[in-house]
Structure formats: structure tokens, C-alpha cells
Structure 1
Amino acid sequence: MKIKLYLLLLLSTTIFAQQKQVVTSIDTNKNKIGAEFKLTLKTSVNTLSKVVFPNSKNLGPLEVIRSYAVDTIKNKDRYELIKKYGLTQFDSGKYSIPSVKVLINNKPFFTDSIKVEVSNVVVDTLKQKMYDIKPIAEVTSSKSWIWKLFLILVLLAGIAAFVYWWLKIRQKKEIEEEIFKTPIEKATSLLNTLEKKELWQKGEVKAYYSELTDIARNYIEEAIDIPAMESTTSELIEGIRVASLKKKMVLSQETIENLERVLKQADLVKFAKSKPLDFEITEDRKKIEKAIITLDKSIPVVVETEDDMLLNELQRQEQLKLQLKKQRKTQIIMSVGIVVTLILAVFLFLITTRGFDYVKDNILGNPSKELLEGEWIYSEYGNPSVKIETPKVLKRTDLTQSLPKDGMALIKEMQSFVYGSISDNFQLILSTIKYKKEGEIDLSKSMESSLQVLESQGAQNMIVKKEDFETKEGVKGMKGFGTFSRIDGINKTSTKLYYEILLFSQEGGLQQILFLHEEGDKYANQISERILNSVELKKASE
């Protein structure tokens, strides 16, 4: 008898366990006043089942402060649905969360009741200081920052224009001063400038000898027509000897030897790291100056005609124009550099003080932000019609090619309207369908079909969540949302996209709204919220 009773008890327990469809759990049984208890209801059903979780503002003595979206985990041919509630109580004590009813295919199943305890928050006013209420903080408008930035850029442009003008006037004067009538005048002026620099006195002996010999070589090249800048010291001295015979120049052997000695000394300083004594440097400078003056005096004087003088003047003017053009180019580069540097400084300041996202969204530009802040359009689309507010007008398109042939055989009329594309990671599609055969439309199956279309277009690793949806006018439908990955076959990159699908069955037809964008785009999230809040349909007659 005891054995039979035991078997009967075991059998009844097994039957009860098999019938238990909803598993109830809570994150904690004890919490402080106002803190959140997270109640979790979990059930496993097949893909055709319809589950309705309770939608109440209170669960017994506890207030529902948040009703979380249903999480859906697909496991082969079944769905695991997880519904969470955020509960709280503002009075201390022990409470019981009652058993609630969950409908699965219109059959009621009840959750377990759970006991919880709410404790007081102990405040020691002797240790804890009391503070006055803070004054109202002023919020700085982002538009005011844009105006400030615009004024800063205008000021920077004005500064750059002034710098450009100042450099142009200054360098023009310098160019005019640097245009000399004769090579000897130029060489003498450059020698005096070199002495004022006091290079060798500062230890820059190599730089001093380099400039000193360059002045001499430039003079020889301009006055005697010898490629002095490209010649070695030996080639230059030989060229001077040959030119002196051709031009009938009277040059002493001492002048040529002194010039050769200084040039070789300069070669040793530049290439052999030789360091002459101070008096040797002074003597070398005097020898170069004397050699240049002697060479200039030995050049036969050619009496210029008026035509020659005019030609020389034209050459001088042409040289001046070329140098002015070169300096103008330098001025432009300098001005652009100054402006770019100042702009980068402003950008760096804004990034430091306001953050990179602020600069990226407000200065560089953000397409989603521009759509959100642009002029929206409230219009009516399709048949049965859907009223919706969108940032841009939706364009009529033909999406029948994306549907399977067996599905198209059931459709009498389909109208589709689109903005954006899945390849741009931003898309809004509105479709209305009328079927040949009238009857009740299963929104769950329609949702499955919509998700399959996304998968056929390359959606991978799809996470699906579902919940009931109701417009402001009380039209009920179904909402599906979640994320999926889109693989770019060309760039071999993966992008995670967030999607939302709304389905309605009105006037014997199906209305569908699909909106997807890159996950984490806060402006696109606001666009999505505004669009969904604006959706309205004609309420079906009962």
C-alpha cells in the first residue's frame, strides 16, 4: 500500500512538472526602499505559439516601474521567451509577489508566488551633512556654440588676411631692395650681410665658409659667365684662367692663387671638418672681397647703347616679376598654413572641452543628425493606407522581385515605399499588401517571413525580440526588433545593424514598416522613436 501511494505521488509530481510551462525567478529576495526587484518569467514554446505576458502597473503590493522587452532566443524549431519586470516598493515590510497569469495559445498558465522583503535605508543625520538645494543650472544651447565657432573662424580668416597683406608688402620691399643693378653691387651687399650675422664668432664656421664661397661663386657666374656653382675648385680656377684670356682680363697670378687658397680652405672646412684660426678666417674673408673687386675691375668696360640699356632694364623687370611670383606663392603657402594651424587649434580646443563626438556631429557633419533636425514630412502611403512622419519623402518602388513566387501568387496588390538602402546602413521601408483571399492574417507568421527576407539579403547572427504594439489611436499590431550583422563582400567588413519591424492587419490587408540603422547611432535611435510614435492606421470596424 505504501509502495502504491509512493508511485501515485511520484506520477502526480511528474505530470505537474510536465505541465509547468512558466519558470519564475527573481534576482534578490531582499532590497532597500525604492530599489528594483527584477522578476523574470521564462517559457519555451514552438514557433507557432502565441504568448501573452501580463501587462499591469502593479503585481500585488509591488509597483511595476519597468516592463522590459521580451527577449527571444531561437533554438531550432522552438523559441525561449524571457520577460522581465522591474518592481519596487516604497514602504518597508515583507511582501508577496502573487501568482500571475500567462496566456500560451489562449490557455492560462500561472507563475509561482515569491516572497520579498523591503528594508529601510538608515540615515545618520549626525554624520551625513545636509546640503541646500542647488540652483537651476543653465543649459548652453548647441546652436550658440555653432555661432561662436562661426565668429571664431571669421576672426581667424581676418587675421590670416592681415598676415598675408603684411607679408606681401614687407616681402615686396625686400625684393625691391634685393634687386641689384650689377653683380659687384650684389656681392658687396651680401658680404656685408654675412659679416653682420657673425656666424663664425658663434662657432658656425662651416656655415660661414659655405656662404662666403657661394657669394664668390655667384659673382663669378654672373659677371664672367662661368658655371661656378657646379664646378669644383680646380675646374673653377681653370675656367677663370681661360675666361681671362678670352675677355682680355688683366689678372695677377697672386689674385688667382689667393682665390684658389680660400676655396680649398672652404672645401676642407666643409668636407674634412677643418677649423681655421680666427685670424685665418678674417684673412680669408679679406682675400675673397679683394679677389671679387680685382675681378670686377679687370673686366673690360662695354659701352652700352640705349637698346642695351633698355634690354637690361626689361630683364631686370622680368627678374623682379619672377621673384614676386615666387614670393606670392610663398605668401599663399604661409597664409594657408597659418589658417590651417589656427583651425586645427580650434578643433583641438573643442575636442578637449566638448568631446570628439560634438566636433564630429556639429562641425564635420552627421547624416543622421541632419535628418533628425531637418524638415519632416507627415504623409499617407499605400492601400490600406498608413499615415507616418518621416525625415524624407518615401519613394515608390517595386519590391515584388524580393518575394518568393509562391508568396506572390497570394497577393492581389502590393505597394512599397523606400528611403535609403541596406548597403548605406540606413533604410526605411513601408509596404501595404492586399491578398486575393480574405481572411485573418497571422502576424507571427508574417513576422517570420519578414525576418527570412532580411536573412536572404545577407543578415547574419540575427537576434529577434517581439512584443505587442499599439498606436496612439488604439490600433494593435506586432513589433519585432533586434540586431543582425551585415557582411560587406567587397571590403570584407562586418557591420552590426539594429532593426525594428511593425506589422498591422487592417481592412483585410497587411501593413509593414521596417526601419534599420547602424547600432549605436543615437540620432538614428531618435529618428526611429519619432517615426514609430507617428504611425497611425484606420481603425478596423468591429
Structure 2
Amino acid sequence: MKIKIYILFLLFSIGLWAQPKVSTSVNVTKNKIGAEFKLTLKTDVDTLSKVKFPEARNFGALEVIQSYKIDTVKKGSRYELIKKYGLTQFDSGKYTIPRIPVLINGKLSFSDSIKVEVNDVKVDTLKQKMYDIKDIAQVESPMGSWWIYVLVLLVIAAAGFFIYKYIKKRQTIEKEEVIVFKTPIEKATTLLQQLEKKELWQRGEIKSYYSELTDIARNYIEEEIHIPAMESTTSELIEGLRKAAKQKKLKLSNETVENLEKVLKQADLVKFAKVKPLDFEIEEDKKRISNSIVTIHQSIPETVEENDELALWNEQQKELARLQKLKKQKRVRIITTIGIVVGMLLLALLSLIYFKGFDYVKDNIIGHPTKELMEGEWVYSEYGNPGVKIETPKVLKRMNAEKIMPKEAMALLKEMQIFIYGSLIDDFYISVSTVTYKQETQIDLDQAAEGSLKVFEAQGAQNIIVKTEDFNTQKGISGKKAYGTMTVLDKIKGKSTKMYYEMLVFAQNGGLQQITIMHREDDTYGKQIMDRVLNSVELQTTDK
């Protein structure tokens, strides 16, 4: 309904003419010789008004050095036209910018006069330092930074090597931990052998050596005799061992218990009193622990397993636990390898961003949708009647005009064809439309462009800024160009995007031809596509 109302309003409404007024301002009233005064003229008019600003070489005694394009700001149903001039004067003094005539709907309106002042530039050659002319700067060759890329590759390779060595070391430790011991004595003797291979006390790590040595003995006693050996003090452990020997009828001699007690007390002195035994004493303590463990094992009476099924079940559970642990370690290795690969790729990506910039990575690694359009295979084709010949990165898709336009508007038309690529919420949008009327119609190109912008506004576009100028194709066909920015809201994602658009409108023998192109405001590839498309536009004239 909004689209119908807007189009009907454009087709049948009568504008209300307001009394034209020209406001005047200047950016500075005092300036230096040769500096620019920027004079601004503004007029507020309705959409049907014709406004013509003067084009002159001088305004009074000031020279016009720049005549800027007219900016159009849409304010509801009215336009604010803004015209700026760059003025200057090369002689000092006080000047007056005279009243400037502006032609609005065939009637003259005048701006206000403004006084300005031009001052000399004071130069103190006594205080101003003088500098020699600088030597020619040497431009670094693009190949001069090759060593940076080599350094990055070496860093990545070194990081990968150290990570690989770390993982291999971890895998070796895990393999050692995977070993499942069938009996406590097997575990104790194996750990004693591994302790000797570490050569801790030979490297001066005596405290660590005694700590591991006594932990092996304590752990064995706890698993074999079932007394809390790990948490007990030396005296508590020895007392508990003597009691267990009587209760379980262990064939332990006092010498075995005393030898074990000697080593435990020696370890306490090493750990808490920082005593450093001699080498032969350390060897003797190791033998005492080894012999004590063997003697305790031999002193345990042999028992026959009454329930073979229970023993088998225990063995199966141990094997299942071993397999599950191996499976877990394999999964950890896979995840770690993936992490290393991802980390190295991320490091390489960050290096590219640092040396080449994010835009380079985005365009060449991540991918840029409009860059792909720009570099793809383009299509040159003709659309509609009267025909519009145009080159586009993709073939435009025909739309059903009757579903878009209201019946009241279609009743006035002989034919309307619309071809589109993309939508308002996409990165890039192109539309080509052609219209022929049933009866000869006087077409106002400004009003036609206004109607299209109203349609965009009905579709959710906001903050539409409009600028207009004349446009000629390469074959000299004249038309109107409207361009500017608008904010488009994506209701699904809930975010808005600022888009830049350009619209070409042509009227030929009662027919209307229109091309609209839109892309994100900061998209350089979108701008390149737009320029290429607009430069390719050629029109077929309507047959009379």
C-alpha cells in the first residue's frame, strides 16, 4: 500500500509552492592573501521547483576559483539545495561579497552581502630558521624486504619443530604410564630400574632421588601389605609393618625391617635437614630398599585364588582400562596435531596481516564477494523496450512488473519490464527498467528519480541523501543522474548498512529507461564495478 500511495502521489499530486529564500554564509571573514573563502548559498524549495545558481568568474572584487557541485538534502517533501563557491583575493584590504542573484522558478532571489577582510602574510626572516635542501630520498626496492618473509617462515618452522619435540616427549611419558603391572612386586622392581636410568643423584639431584626411592618402597608396602604407608611417618610405617607381620604371619627378620628403617630415616634427613650422603652410602641405601622389597615379597604366604572367575574378571577390567587409556591418548594426539596445524596457519595468517594488511588477506585469502564479481566473466546484453545495452558481472533476472507496481499505475502503461541482480540488503545491486506509455506523456526526469527513491524508502531505506546532475551516454543521449547514500536495514540480521547508489534516467519519445546501481559505501571493488557498468550504458531509441 505504501508503494501505491507514493506512486499515486507522484502521478497525481499538486505541489505547494513556498516563497523562495536564499540564505548566505561564509566559512571565515578574515583570511590571508590567496587563501580560500568558501561561500555557501542555500535555498529551501519543493520537488517541482527549478533553481539555477549563477556561474561567474568574479563576485565583486573576489575571484571565483572553484564552483562546487550542488548538494541536495531531502527533507520530507522538500529539498534543500546547497551551492558552494571558492573565492579568493591576492591584494590585502576589506572587500564586500555582493548580493548574488539566484533564479528560482523564473524569478530572481538575492543572497545577502557579506564583508570580508584579506590580510598580508607576515614573514620574519630574522627569526625564521633557514634549512638546506634535503637530499633525494632513496626508495626501497620492493624486493628489499624478502628477508622478512624468510624470517617468518623460519620462525614458523622453529615453532613447529619445538612443538613436535614436546609432543614426542609427552607421548614417551604417556607410553611409560600406559604399562599395566600385574603385581606390586613387578611394579616396584620396574620403577627401581627406571629410577636408576634417570641418574638423578649422579647429577646432584639427591633429594629427588631419595624422594622417589622411598615412594617406591612405601607404595609397594601399601599395595602388598595393605597399610597406609604413603601417609605415615617413618616410625608409624615401621610400627605398622611389624604389626602386619605378626597378624599376617610374614616371615620378616628384624634385619630387614631395620634396613628399611635406616633408608627411610636417611631420606628424612636428606629432605628436611639437607644432609648429603656420600656416593657409596647412596648405593647402599638403594640396595637396602631393593632387598627389603624382595624380602617382603618372599615373606608373604602363598594363597590359592578361590574364585577363578573373579580373577579373570579383574584381569579383563585391567585390560579394558588399558585400552581405554590408549584410545584417550590417541584422541589427545589427534587433537594436538590439529591444534598445531591450526596454530601454524593462524600464525602465517597473522604474519600476512602484519606485513600486507587486513584488506590484502580479506581480498585474497578469506574472499571478497564484489572482488569475485569484478574478476568474473562479464555479460554484455540488451534489456527491455526501449532497449538498454549494458555490461554486467552477472545476467540480470526478469521480474514481474505487475507484482511490483499497483494496478492504477499499470493501467497507464503500455509495457513495463524490470531486470534485477541482487537486492537492497546485498553487497551489490543492479536494476534496469524500461517503460512505454499508452498515450504520449511528458516525462519529468527529476520526478521519475524521486519516484524510484520513494519505492526504496517504502522498502525500508532511510537517511536518503540525493544529488543530481546531467548525464550523457557515449553516443550523446542526454539524461539525468541522481546519486548519493542511503541506510538499508537488514531485518533478519538486525543490522543496518550504508549504501552508495547511482541512478540514470532517460526519456525518449514517450518512453522511460532507468538504470540503478548500489554498493556498500566503503567497497572499492563495488565502485569499480559501478564505473564499468555505467561506462558501458547505451540506449535504443523508441520507435515513433
Q: Indicate the residue corresponding to 1:457 in structure 2.
A: 459
Deviations along 1:373-417, one digit per CA (max 9) or x if unpaired, are 555444433322223343433333335423233222223323323
Q: Indicate the residue corresponding to 1:196 in structure 2.
A: 200
Whole-angstrom distance in 2 between the partners of 1:454 and 1:447: 11
Per mean C-alpha deviation after superposition, the further-off stretch among 114-123 and 462-471 is: 114-123
In structure 2, relative to structure 1, the CA distance for the partners of 1:361 and 1:256 (3 Å cut) is farther
CA contact (8 A) 2:369 2:427 kept: no
2:382 maps to 1:380: yes
CA contact (8 A) 2:415 2:437 kept: yes
Q: Indicate the residue corresponding to 2:22 in structure 1.
A: 22
- 1:88-167 matches, cutoff 5 A: 88=88, 91-92=90-91, 102-107=102-107, 109=109, 121=121, 127-129=129-131, 131-132=133-134, 134=136, 137=139
CA contact (8 A) 1:36 1:87 kept: yes
Give, in angstroms, the shift of residue 361 of structure 1. Answer: 4.3
Give the AA of the match of 2:431.
I
In structure 2, relative to structure 1, the CA distance for the partners of 1:152 and 1:78 (3 Å cut) is same
Per mean C-alpha deviation after superposition, the further-off stretch among 453-462 and 63-72 is: 63-72
State the SS of the aligned residue for 1:423. Answer: coil
CA contact (8 A) 1:68 1:86 kept: no
In structure 2, relative to structure 1, the CA distance for the partners of 1:85 and 1:284 (3 Å cut) is farther
CA contact (8 A) 1:501 1:515 kept: yes
Give the % identical residues: 49
2:190 maps to 1:186: yes
Q: Indicate the residue corresponding to 2:310 in structure 1.
A: none
Structure 1 unpaired stretches of 5+: 1-17, 269-274, 302-316
In structure 2, relative to structure 1, the CA distance for the partners of 1:225 and 1:463 (3 Å cut) is farther
State the SS of the aligned residue for 2:422. Answer: strand
In structure 2, relative to structure 1, the CA distance for the partners of 1:263 and 1:416 (3 Å cut) is farther
Q: TM-score, normalised by structure 2?
A: 0.66
Give the AA of the match of 1:502.
L
CA contact (8 A) 2:64 2:85 kept: no
Give the AA of the match of 1:364.
I
Per mean C-alpha deviation after superposition, the further-off stretch among 116-125 and 449-458 is: 116-125
Give the AA of the match of 1:482.
G
How many residues align? The count is 494
2:443 maps to 1:441: yes
Give, in angstroms, the shift of residue 38 of structure 1. Answer: 1.7
Give, in angstroms, the shift of residue 260 of structure 1. Answer: 11
Q: Indicate the residue corresponding to 2:510 in structure 1.
A: 508
Q: Indicate the residue corresponding to 1:467 in structure 2.
A: 469
Give the AA of the match of 2:69.
Y
The structure, 1 or 2, with the larger RCO (C-alpha pairs under 8 Å, 6+ apart) is 2
Whole-angstrom distance in 2 between the partners of 1:110 and 1:417: 46
CA contact (8 A) 1:388 1:531 kept: yes
Work out which of the residue numbers 390, 393, 415 in structure 1 matches 2:392.
390
Q: Indicate the residue corresponding to 1:70 in structure 2.
A: 71
Give, in angstroms, the shift of residue 39 of structure 1. Answer: 2.3
- 1:278-427 matches, cutoff 5 A: 278=274, 289-295=290-296, 297=298, 336-352=338-354, 355-374=357-376, 376-427=378-429
Per mean C-alpha deviation after superposition, the further-off stretch among 350-359 and 469-478 is: 350-359
Q: TM-score, normalised by structure 1?
A: 0.67
Whole-angstrom distance in 2 between the partners of 1:489 and 1:260: 80
CA contact (8 A) 1:50 1:105 kept: yes
In structure 2, relative to structure 1, the CA distance for the partners of 1:132 and 1:194 (3 Å cut) is closer
Give the AA of the match of 1:40.
T
CA contact (8 A) 2:200 2:208 kept: no
CA contact (8 A) 1:68 1:85 kept: no
Deviations along 1:406-463, one digit per CA (max 9) or x if unpaired, are 2222233233232222233532222222223332211222222212211221123433
2:48 maps to 1:44: no
In structure 2, relative to structure 1, the CA distance for the partners of 1:79 and 1:319 (3 Å cut) is closer
State the SS of the aligned residue for 1:131. Answer: coil
Deviations along 1:17-71, one digit per CA (max 9) or x if unpaired, are x976434443235544553332222222222223344567x45673443523423
CA contact (8 A) 2:200 2:206 kept: no
CA contact (8 A) 2:419 2:432 kept: yes
Per mean C-alpha deviation after superposition, the further-off stretch among 324-333 and 401-410 is: 324-333
Give the AA of the match of 1:394.
L
CA contact (8 A) 1:395 1:419 kept: yes
CA contact (8 A) 1:249 1:298 kept: yes
Q: Indicate the residue corresponding to 1:311 in structure 2.
A: none
CA contact (8 A) 2:160 2:340 kept: no
Deviations along 1:310-336, one digit per CA (max 9) or x if unpaired, are xxxxxxx99999998877766655555
Give, in angstroms, the shift of residue 517 of structure 1. Answer: 3.1
CA contact (8 A) 2:386 2:541 kept: no
In structure 2, relative to structure 1, the CA distance for the partners of 1:175 and 1:44 (3 Å cut) is closer
CA contact (8 A) 2:70 2:83 kept: yes
State the SS of the aligned residue for 2:462. Answer: strand
Whole-angstrom distance in 1 between the partners of 2:378 and 2:527: 16
Taking only aligned residues, the RMSD between alpha carbons, in angstroms, comes to 5.8
